[in-house]
């Protein structure tokens, strides 16, 4: 089976004809422009959601804003995050297991456990062990 490749964009850029971007890609640094924002909204992407912000944060950290992207790649990356912006582990399908800045402070929180509960947990553990 033959593979058909469109070289029209390459020829247009070589001969100085008006450059149009057939893939719809744009630089990450252009995300705040009104035309890109309207394209995102037309594609059904909520730019105020935590899911969108987490996806863009990952893209920006990987490419420092110099990378090209398109709307479909943003949608695909947004599928890796839940509505709270937590990364969804692809192997388990569970979200929130990745340690982020938001839950790092709550990880080191010390809670007090009553002495009666400690004794009960010890007895239960001893019983299960034996």
Tell me, yes or no, whether 89 lies in a domain: yes
pLDDT tens for residues 86-102?
888 878 887 766 655 55
DSSP code of 89? P
Residue 2 has pLDDT above 50, yes or no: no
What is the count of structural domains for the chain?
1
Tell me, yes or no, whether 98 lies in a domain: yes
pLDDT: which is higher, 64 or 67: 67
Q: Which residue has the tokens 């935590």?
A: 50
d(CA 107, CA 39): 39
pLDDT tens for residues 3-52?
545 555 566 666 665 455 556 788 888 888 888 899 899 999 999 999 99
Tell me, yes or no, whether 30 lies in a domain: yes
Tell me, yes or no, whether 97 lies in a domain: yes
Tell me, yes or no, whether 130 lies in a domain: no
Tell me, yes or no, whether 125 lies in a domain: no
If you average pLDDT over residues 50-77, what whole number do you get? 84
Q: For residue 24, what are the domain limits?
A: 8-103
* β-bridge partners, 4: none
Count of CA atoms in the C-beta half-sphere (13 A) of 102? 9
Could you tell me the pTM of the whole model?
0.58
Tell me, yes or no, whether 68 lies in a domain: yes
Specify whether the CB–CB gap between 31 and 68 falls below 8 A.
Answer: no
Q: Which residue has the tokens 């402070």?
A: 105
Tell me, yes or no, whether 61 lies in a domain: yes
């Amino acid at each position: 089976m033959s593979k058909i490749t469109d070289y029209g964009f390459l020829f247009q850029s070589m001969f100085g004809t008006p450059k149009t971007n057939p893939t719809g890609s744009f630089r990450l640094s252009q995300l705040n422009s009104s035309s890109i924002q309207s394209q995102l909204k037309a594609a059904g992407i909520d730019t105020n959601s935590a899911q969108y912000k987490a996806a863009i944060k990952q893209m920006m950290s990987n490419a420092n804003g110099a990378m090209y992207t398109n709307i479909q790649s943003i949608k695909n990356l947004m599928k890796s995050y839940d509505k709270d912006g937590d990364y969804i582990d692809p192997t388990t399908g569970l979200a929130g297991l990745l340690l982020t800045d938001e839950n790092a402070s709550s990880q080191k929180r010390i809670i007090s456990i009553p002495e009666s509960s400690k004794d009960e947990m010890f007895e239960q553990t001893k019983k299960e062990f034996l």
